[in-house]
A and B are shown apart, each in its own frame.
Chain A
Amino acid sequence: MREKGEVVLEVRNMCKNFGSTIALNHVDFQIRKGEIRGLIGENGSGKSTVSSIIAGMQPATDGEMFYHGKPWKPKTMLEAAKAGIGMIVQEAGTIDNITVAENIFLGNAADFLKGPFVNRKAMTKAAAKALTDCGIDYINASYPTRLLDMQKRKLVEIAKVMSLNPEILIVDETTTALSQRGRDILYKIMHKLADAGKSVMIISHDMEEMMTHCDVLTILRDGEIIDNLDKQDFEDSKIKKLMVGREIQGNYYRNDNDTWSDEVVLKANYITTLNDLMCFNLELHKGEILGIGGLSDCGMHALGRALYGLDEVIDGEVVLTETNTVVKDSIIAFQHGMGYVSKNRDSESLELMAPVKENIQSTGYWKNIWKKPLIDFKKEKKYVTDQVESLSIKCRDINQPVRFLSGGNKQKVVFGKWIAADSSILILDCPTRGVDVGVKASMYQLMYEMKKQGKAIIMISEELPELIGMSDRLLIMRDGAVSGEFYRKDGLNEHDLINYMI
């Protein structure tokens, strides 16, 4: 364990209110040189709020901050980054239609001026160096960023922040967007910084990750700091209890060996897509939770999209066997009782500007009808409130815009859409990405209840523990094909599965 250095940043009595909602309530803490400090807490506990204030994304309502002993009140993220506080944000932090190099040096293009013009060649070269310095040697700095997948974009953001040589690096729920390879790159950077006497502050819901890599954990609940734990005091159940304020059982996955029906409800017959999949076969049964796992780029996310009709299937077909319907697009999929939860929650699964009610209503436009084509407002309200209540979605009221909700509550809204639609086949792509243990537990419970109701679920995930914990049957993918098939009844072992992934 590293020695604790002097205090580099201090937060005193920080408060942040959003209207009547208190996001931070008199928060005090310090970040020391050479430490990796983890911020941990349930969704909506204030972790992202406090880090975003430190990084200049938004101002505090009240309180003080001191950076290197001097008052610290950054007006913008760029100001903070230039002063040595860099943050990798939770959501997309890159711009689509510019190059990787332009993203890395966004706001600093003046450094590459040659007369009145930007020297793109020099900028691209410097960007390539910034990427290589971070251990990322497989991204072309001259590529348009829109061509990169989400993981690579996150790596570009890491290189962008690191190019400014930060004194404090803030990592806000970034690892969920990264594969193991990407995570390893980030961990290496974090430890390298801490070893060099700099500081890292990381926010994550991955308990194992936090316990492995952090020196200190600051636990937040409802906008208040509950405790600060040093590494020697890290204990899984203790942390969870502090986070949620009650005992959380060590294992929140299902522990049954229930079977499923023989009835096939969805079939992929030798499907080939433009990217990723080649002659792929799959059968999904009624009442089955089928897990799909593998490395991030193994084709499992493309499979989910193809099954729901979002990606074009150029050969073969996806068939709903009960009605012998070929799923050619998402409209057919939706109309035949399918639902899809995207990995990219904010950009694909939600209309962020719209309120909770509009988002949940979106799957029930033609169900909540009074007399065709007029809406039954009572039915529509019930359609929404049923979900808000049963899923315990924390919101001011159903008119609150979704963008103001925490990550976990946003995900609950997405689930609510599909539960309200009574979808019989659900494709869940990374359903617990960026949600806390409490929400995870309720999502798993929900999935199990849906299974018992006879619904069929495909769960695509990059987290092996949840695949092992929840799947009846598990397909491991590699290079767009199934490399291994495993059954719950036979016992699932993480080590065996990894061998089929790589």
Chain B
Amino acid sequence: MKQLTKIKENRYFLEVFPFAILFLLLLVFGLGTGGRFFAKANITGIFNQALITATATIGIAFIYTTGNLDISIGAVIALAATVGGKIYLATENVVIMILVTLLICLALMAWNSTLSVSLHIKTTTAAIVMMQIYKAIQESLVGAVDLAVPFAICSALEKSSFRIITLLMYMVLAIVIYNFTPFGRAIRFIGGNENCATQSGLRKSTYIRLSFLIAGVGVGLSAVYTIIRVGTITTSTAGSMGMDVMLATVLGGMSIFGGDRSKCYAGVLGAITVVVLNKGLLMMGVDNSLVQGIRGILFLLLVYLNSERPDVLPTRKQF
């Protein structure tokens, strides 16, 4: 145990760890599937799915950094994608579909932050409740028949550079905001010690609201990519996204407890690793329910490895 603590407290541990895990998984699945894992179609599939998870994870990193944990992402994406799909079917205008999807996500994330910041409801509690409500609305909007956006539109968008360009733009913007602006510094400090941040004159509420809005853009893009990828919106769309984002965060080497150990680009590598893990296990014939179990155990292990809060430290009230 002491050896483990020593390893995880090494300053380079978090830099090397995400790559080591991904490399290990690629090696195991490559050997386990007799090389089928590296087939072009599979790699393309991993890329397309990782794109969705990575975008959401980059955004959600801003919320996690402040020490808040919003797990309603899957429901937000599902609801926004449903409304976006319906808007397209009504207007047949892709631009309006994209804008509406983004706006819905921004609005829902803004509402989540209001519950947390203005009404002082713990973010996790608010997210659990809102997740149920968003999901219920989405299910009633979808109705008995799945919502299908024409394949031609989805395929055209998938083949275009739309997704790559928007993801890169968002990622660069997020990295700049996170690492090169006072805002990025401030949210890390807030996540580390709210009291101290308040006494240092930081606008805690404003910064947390802004974090939710920046995350809203990422989640919105992720919802748009979901429409493009699946075309058909069902009641199970983005069902595992909440867990995927958390897992991608820790697999990327970031702490979900926020603070100084946070980094927003962690999600990109983490997202690839999550998708590799999901696909790899399924290709090796592992039952889907067992996959969920493995993911859960891995998540707990990673959270442990990623946490370095001594017992004597004040615990944040969010958890």
Contacts and interface: CB of A to CB of B under 8 A. Distances in A.
Interface stretch (A158-166, A345-353, A491-499): A345-353
Contact of B193 (A335, A350, A417): A350
Interface stretch (B26-34, B129-137, B167-175, B306-314): B306-314
B201 A333 contact: yes
Contacts of B197: 351, 362
A165 to B, nearest CB: 24
Contacts of B192: 351-354, 358
B259 interface: yes
Contact of A373 (B183, B196, B198, B260): B183
Interface string B168-189: 0000000010001111011011
Contacts of A375: 180-182, 185
B302 to A, nearest CB: 18
A264 B274 CA distance: 61
Contacts of B195: 347-348
Interface in B259-280: 259-261
A362 B185 CA distance: 8
Contact of A358 (B180, B183, B260): B260
| Dominant SS among interface residues on chain A | loop
A365 B182 contact: yes
Interface string A70-96: 000000000000000000010111001
Contacts of B308: 353
B200 interface: yes
Interface residues on B, range: 20 to 34
A351 B312 contact: no
A282 interface: no
Given A373-B181, A374-B181, A355 B260 contact: yes
Contact of A403 (B200, B202, B310): B310
Given A352-B313, A353-B259, A334 B200 contact: yes
B203 interface: yes
A91 B313 CA distance: 9
A331 B313 CA distance: 25
B186 A350 contact: no
Contacts of A355: 260
B199 interface: yes
A358 B200 contact: no
Given A334-B201, A348-B195, A351-B196, A358 B312 contact: no
A135 B115 CA distance: 46
B199 A349 contact: yes
A93 B313 CA distance: 10
B182 A417 contact: no
A272 to B, nearest CB: 22
Contacts of A369: 182
B186 to A, nearest CB: 6
Interface string B143-186: 00000000000000000000000000000000010001111011
Interface of A: 89, 91-93, 96, 308, 310, 330-331, 333-335, 340, 342, 347-355, 358, 361-363, 365-366, 369, 373-375, 403, 417
Q: Which 6 A-B pairs have the closest CB atoms?
A: A334-B201, A365-B182, A351-B192, A354-B260, A351-B193, A362-B200
11 contacts: A92-B312, A96-B314, A351-B189, A353-B261, A353-B309, A354-B192, A358-B188, A362-B189, A362-B197, A363-B201, A369-B182
